Amino acid sequence: MILEAQYQQRRENFLARMSHNSVAVFLSASNKTRSNDTHYPYRQESNFYYLSGFKEDNAALVFVKTKESTQIVLFVQKKDETLELWNGKRLGEKEAQKLFRVDKVYVGEDFTEKLKEFLKDKNKFYYDFACEDARLQGIKSVTQKLKTHVNASALVAEMRLIKSDSEVELIKQALKITKIAHHKAMKFEKQGKHEYELQAEIEYIFKKNGASSDAYTSIVACGNSANTLHYIENDKVFEENELVLIDAGCEFDYYASDITRTIPVSGKFTEAQKELYNMVLDVQLHIIDMIKPHAMKSALQEKAEELLCRGMIKLGILKGNSKELLKEKAHKKYYPHGIGHWMGLDVHDSSPYRYDDNKEIPFLKGMVLTIEPGIYIDKDDKNVPAKYRGIGIRIEDNILVTSNGHKNLSKKIAKSIEEIEALSR
């Protein structure tokens, strides 16, 4: 749980990044229509939540900064018995003022007029450039007159790079639930059943154990389906002696996990599957071991590609000299994606990988990222030994950068062939 004092500190940190004589606006997420008058489950916009901890829609957070003073204002939806009958209770203006350490709370209906007041005589406006909320459109004529516009979301994305202890604890809790789900998947009797049946088991475990939702649409890809990186149909029947790639994670109090395991349908890896799997696992373990403060993600990517290329040559998947193959990017046919990404409030956290001057951001204590090497060989690829065709493998863990190295937050999720086979059936 993140306490209000931490949200207050984040707001103060953001104020410190603002120029004098400026205003910043963050808007809550809008309800998204599924069809007609039904909606998707509501999830708060991540930057707004990061700064406020407020989970309701129709809200706004405004920062005002001059040389003489600062002000932070929260706008919330007013209490309305009829709306609450249909859509649930609202905190309201008075209760929000008690709970949140802001200077003032107003009802949402006051947003446009109050913001116009705040913008008077200011010269810089901070907001999310990707935001298309109608509330911003309503003050467009005012904001266009300001000299400078700044993408506020980029500033918050930098702040989100370093996770606090309480944020790491929430990620750990998400991973505890994810471990139960993936181990259930390993134990699940798969032969003759559909991918969506296993998906249902995984997502049931998420909900049963207190996850607020899945962190992304679960991938349950059997056989050649694993060679489609964003496969989400999950409608094939499991076949004996095939592998199933499971990329599934959950959110716990808004913080994500992101885990991939590749397991045998029949409970045992074939010899060819073992060869490919151990190659990918060896690469992953090597790359994880490289993570420490001041290391660079680009170095991890380069090393992963080098090791995977060498492994492919050893297994006869690629033929030739590794330096030449790497130069030609021949290995990218079988490993087309990156080694990992930032993770936190979003499964793909929006934090930057480079500073404004394009210099790469080094790893620092408190950063959390995924490490996910893989290999993907289509069933119709005649350039590869037949025994490897139709196999897709990815192994993914969630890693915390510590003061002197790293910690694998997901190390308790079975990963070696021996561990997986011991759990599988």
Which are the catalytic amino acids? Answer: 37, 230, 247, 258, 337, 341, 348, 372, 376, 394, 396
Q: Which residues, 6+ apart, have CB-to-CB distance to 162 below 8 Å?
A: 364, 365, 366, 367
Buried/exposed 201-229: b ≥16 CB within 10 Å, e otherwise: bbbebbeebebbebbbebbbbbbbbbbee
What pairs with residue 38 in β-bridges? 35
Closest CA to 261 of 378, 374, 425, 387: 374
Q: What is the 3-state secondary structure (H, E, C) of 211-243?
A: CCEECCCCEEEEHHHHHCCCCCCCCCECCCCCE
Q: Which residues, 6+ apart, have CB-to-CB distance to 291 below 8 Å?
A: 300, 363, 369, 371, 399, 401, 405, 406
d(CA 114, CA 110): 6
Closest CA to 261 of 276, 277, 272, 275: 277
Residue with tokens 């079988």: 334
Give SS3 for 277. Answer: helix
Tokens of 344: 């936190």
Tokens of 63: 């920062």
Find out whether 215 and 341 touch, Cβ atoms under 8 Å: no
DSSP for 313-360, written as a single string: HHTTSS-S-HHHHHHHTGGGGT--S-S--B-SSSSS----SB-TTSPB
Q: Which residues, 6+ apart, have CB-to-CB distance to 371 below 8 Å?
A: 284, 287, 288, 291, 300, 339, 340, 396, 397, 399
- Give the DSSP H/E element, type plus range, for residue 69: none
Find out whether 361 and 161 touch, Cβ atoms under 8 Å: yes
How far separated are the first and last CA of the chain, in Å rounded? 37
Find out whether 105 and 75 touch, Cβ atoms under 8 Å: yes
Give SS3 for 251. Answer: strand
